[in-house]
Structure 1
Amino acid sequence: MLVFKFGGASVKDAAGIINLGKVVENYTDDQLLIVVSAMGKTTNALEKLTKAYFNQTEDVHDIYEEIKQYHYHILSEVFDSNAAIFDEVANTFVEIDWMLEDEPQDDYDFIYDQIVSVGELVSTRIVNAYLNKIGLKSQWLDVRGYIHTDNTYREGVVQWAKTKESIMKGIPALLEKSIVITQGFLGGTSENFTTTLGREGSDYTASILASCLGAESVTTWKDVPGILNADPKLFKDTIKFDELPYSEAIEMTYYGASVIHPKTIKPLQNAKIPLLVKPFNDPTAPGTVIKENGHDHYAKPIIILKQNQVLLSLSAKDYAFISETHLSEIFNLFAQSHVKINMMQTSALSFTACFDEDEERFKKLLQAVSENFKAKYNNNLSLLTTRHYTPESLKKLTEGKVTLLEQISRNTAQMVIR
């Protein structure tokens, strides 16, 4: 049994959906579970809609209409105008219609998950309808009834025992009869509310399903030839890895490599299931294999650049040393605000942390820490991480940049730069 994951870039338009069908046609002899992300930049657009709705700005309905028209345009290129999928998509968007009728009453993170999740629900409806149209028997599955999480909205914590029981009870029998199409990124609570698993979480969904089902492998289809040593949009002369060990992939995702969600690898490593990263537009190409004993020879440093970073420095209001008691309080406030630290450093009088800029969560954190600490911060920064660096590579990467914070260990160098 194989698990495939197709990201937003793979299904961003009619040509992408048609190409997905061609990829799947090569695997009709296998039991196949397919995880699909929202189409193109739909998640970004739905995030914009969520902010507009939460703040009650005038452009709410314009943003929403643009999202719907984007999907209906794709439908019109792939299906006849009387196809049932038009009604299925319209009925799925009704979940947002109901929310927009009333003023926001709930916490921002809760509202976010109820709105943004619709992207995956719509994309999987469309992909499922297309596979059936071309004669590939396919069944749509609502993953929210199988991946169970707690009530941590925007960062749902998987309840593994309950999740595995649901998956094993319902999905194997479906796979015997047809291809199964389901959503990435989503989970469900015991109260039947929708949660999301963290931004770009569709890889993690595929990993959860594969580990519970004992899949032969997981393949994530990308718009790159495999895992590269750097983002080709930002750096020249990138190289592709043929193999990587689980350990290196975990390091890369921890430091922010966007090709795989950070939580993806561990469930696969535990179950010894290989992860293949393959090019969507060249399905016969080998791509990159991540497995237990993948070779770890690095011809070039691995470069990871995270943008839109905040650097926050905290000091005690009475000029006291930063003690373990202070650190305990600070970490607790970060956890309560759901802000993940990408890099940190302590000195006698201050604690400094670098993290992704998220307007709502940063506002919450800043308010919380300001009660007992003096806070200073810079934003619009970048975090540069280099694995297996050389002195020459560090010099070249930081040339012409202002370095605000630096940490260098044997294998990894990190720098917050402007």
Structure 2
Amino acid sequence: MRVFKFGGASVKDAESVKNVGEIIREYSQDDLIVVVSAMGKTTNALEQIMQLYAKQDKSALENQIFDLKNFHFTIINELFEKQNLPVFDKVNNLFQTLSNYCSTNFVGDYDFHYDQIISLGEILSTTIIAEYLKSQSFNATWLDARKTVRTDNRWREGRVNWEVTEVLIQTAVEKAIKNETNIIITQGFLGHTPKGETTTLGREGSDFTASIFAYCLDANDVTIWKDVPGMLNADPKYFDNTELLEKISFREAIELAYFGASVIHPKTIQPLKRKRIPLHIKSFIHPSEQGSVIQESIEYDDHIPSFIFKLDQVLVSLTPKDFSFIVEENLEHIFAYLNQQKIRINLMQNSAVSFSFIVDQSRINLEALVAYFQDDYAVKYNQGLELVTIRHYDEPTINRVTVGKKIILEQRSRQTARLVIG
């Protein structure tokens, strides 16, 4: 059993779907679980629909649903020649379900409704792709992840019940294989509560779904198909002359994900590590190229330094007004506020009389933070900074990213250098 995952960019239009079909054809002798995201920017469009539904803006809501329906039917019309194929009715019914849902009055928990609406993106994409593969004589079937991935009822970031999920996935896949199906198309990002209500696993959670299925089925490997040649040592948007990381360990991948590398979802690696299931990252544009593999051995981790850039950072420093030492009581007070406000710290450092931390500008309300702490602390902050993390650094690599810039804060360990620069 092998697990493939295709993201939204790989199924953004009809030609992209055909390309996915050609990739699957190369592996069609294997038993495959194919996890698929929503097509193109569908999730963004559904988020706009969700916002309009919450506002009860019926006119704009109808227009947005109409545009999204046209987007999907444009793809369908280019993939299928006959108008009486089941896919047309299936997709029509899904959009009718969306329209009916949004025609009801908005009552209750925003996040609950979010999951019910946003989940339709993956249902649409997998419905279309499963029907397309069948039309191309693939031995394919559609599997509903909303009935196989069991979570709690934490909307928008459901936590997986691994024991129940393993039974549900194994049972569903065994049934499909008994029916002589070897290609199973299912949705990334989706789950369900014990009551059967739809949940989502958090944005970019489709990678996580692939690792869930792999873990539960003891898969041979997982391949995530992306629009990059593999896992690079830096984001090419910010860094020239990037290098391919052909082979790194699970541990290294977790470190890179923790520091902000965007190629792999942070939750994806852990289930694979537990069962030592290799994770391949390959290009759907050049599928014959080798790509990268994440596996158990640490032998290759330090061969190439990796760079992770976080822009638009804010450095906040808190100093007790009575110049008392920063002790556990102060830290408890500070962390309680940050946790309450869901502010994720990217880097922190303390001295005897001050505590400093770096956060994303978009995640913090500085005016509210100052108002909260100003009675007890002198609050200072610097905006518009950049946080650079270098794994397996040396002085030349540090010099490479700091030329002409001021280092405001610096931390180094044996393997990692972290620099706040402005």
Structure-2 separation of matches of 1:155 and 1:133: 35
User: RMSD of the TM alignment (CA)?
Assistant: 3.1
Give the equivalent residue in structure 2 for 1:42: 42
Q: Find out whether 1:219 has 2:223 as its counterpart.
A: yes
Aligned CA distance change for structure 1 residues 268 and 14 (closer, same or farther; 3 Å) = same
- The aligned amino acid for 1:173 is K
1:335 CA drift (Å): 4.3
1:337 CA drift (Å): 4.8
1:17 CA drift (Å): 0.4
Aligned CA distance change for structure 1 residues 284 and 324 (closer, same or farther; 3 Å) = same
Give the equivalent residue in structure 2 for 1:159: 161
Aligned residue pairs total 416
1:382 CA drift (Å): 4.3
Aligned CA distance change for structure 1 residues 283 and 45 (closer, same or farther; 3 Å) = same
- The aligned amino acid for 2:84 is N
Query: Rg: which structure is higher?
Result: 2
Q: Find out whether 1:77 has 2:78 as its counterpart.
A: yes
Checking the alignment, whether the CA contact within 8 Å between 2:65 and 2:99 is kept in structure 1 is no
Q: Equivalent pairs: percent with the same residue?
A: 46
Give the equivalent residue in structure 2 for 1:189: 193
1:329 CA drift (Å): 4.5
1:247 CA drift (Å): 1.1
Give the equivalent residue in structure 2 for 1:242: 246
Structure 1, residues 227-261: CA drift from partner, whole Å, max 9, x if none? 11112233221111221111111111111111111
TM-score, normalisation: structure 2: 0.87
Structure-1 separation of matches of 2:408 and 2:109: 34
Checking the alignment, whether the CA contact within 8 Å between 2:5 and 2:35 is kept in structure 1 is yes
Aligned CA distance change for structure 1 residues 53 and 326 (closer, same or farther; 3 Å) = farther
Residues 317-332 of structure 1 mapped to structure 2, 5 A cutoff: 321-332=325-336
Checking the alignment, whether the CA contact within 8 Å between 1:203 and 1:264 is kept in structure 2 is yes
Give the equivalent residue in structure 1 for 2:293: 289
Structure-2 separation of matches of 1:99 and 1:348: 56
Counterpart of 2:33 in 1: which secondary structure? strand
Aligned CA distance change for structure 1 residues 102 and 77 (closer, same or farther; 3 Å) = same
Structure-2 separation of matches of 1:67 and 1:98: 15
Structure-1 separation of matches of 2:160 and 2:370: 27
Aligned CA distance change for structure 1 residues 127 and 169 (closer, same or farther; 3 Å) = same
Structure-1 separation of matches of 2:402 and 2:107: 46
Counterpart of 1:341 in 2: which secondary structure? coil
Q: Find out whether 1:398 has 2:399 as its counterpart.
A: no
Checking the alignment, whether the CA contact within 8 Å between 1:229 and 1:300 is kept in structure 2 is yes
The answer to which of 208-217 and 73-82 deviates more is: 73-82
Structure 1, residues 328-347: CA drift from partner, whole Å, max 9, x if none? 35444544555433322334
1:39 CA drift (Å): 1.4
1:171 CA drift (Å): 1.9
- The aligned amino acid for 2:389 is T
Residues 228-239 of structure 1 mapped to structure 2, 5 A cutoff: 228-239=232-243
Structure 2 segments unaligned to the other structure (5+ residues): none
Structure-2 separation of matches of 1:309 and 1:77: 44
Aligned CA distance change for structure 1 residues 116 and 373 (closer, same or farther; 3 Å) = farther
Structure 1, residues 38-96: CA drift from partner, whole Å, max 9, x if none? 11222233334434444566854444433332222211211233332122223223443
Give the equivalent residue in structure 2 for 1:268: 272
Aligned CA distance change for structure 1 residues 167 and 23 (closer, same or farther; 3 Å) = same
Structure-2 separation of matches of 1:91 and 1:364: 46
Aligned CA distance change for structure 1 residues 378 and 54 (closer, same or farther; 3 Å) = farther
- The aligned amino acid for 2:46 is L
Structure-1 separation of matches of 2:195 and 2:245: 44
The answer to which of 163-172 and 268-277 deviates more is: 163-172
Give the equivalent residue in structure 1 for 2:25: 25
The answer to which of 83-92 and 14-23 deviates more is: 83-92
Give the equivalent residue in structure 2 for 1:303: 307
1:16 CA drift (Å): 0.9
Residues 379-398 of structure 1 mapped to structure 2, 5 A cutoff: 382-398=386-402
Structure 1, residues 292-350: CA drift from partner, whole Å, max 9, x if none? 11532545420112345555555668876543234335444544555433322334455
Counterpart of 1:239 in 2: which secondary structure? coil
Give the equivalent residue in structure 2 for 1:149: 151
Aligned CA distance change for structure 1 residues 305 and 98 (closer, same or farther; 3 Å) = farther
Aligned CA distance change for structure 1 residues 331 and 5 (closer, same or farther; 3 Å) = same
Aligned CA distance change for structure 1 residues 314 and 77 (closer, same or farther; 3 Å) = farther
The answer to which of 390-399 and 243-252 deviates more is: 390-399
Q: 1:109 aligns with which of 111, 119, 122?
A: 111
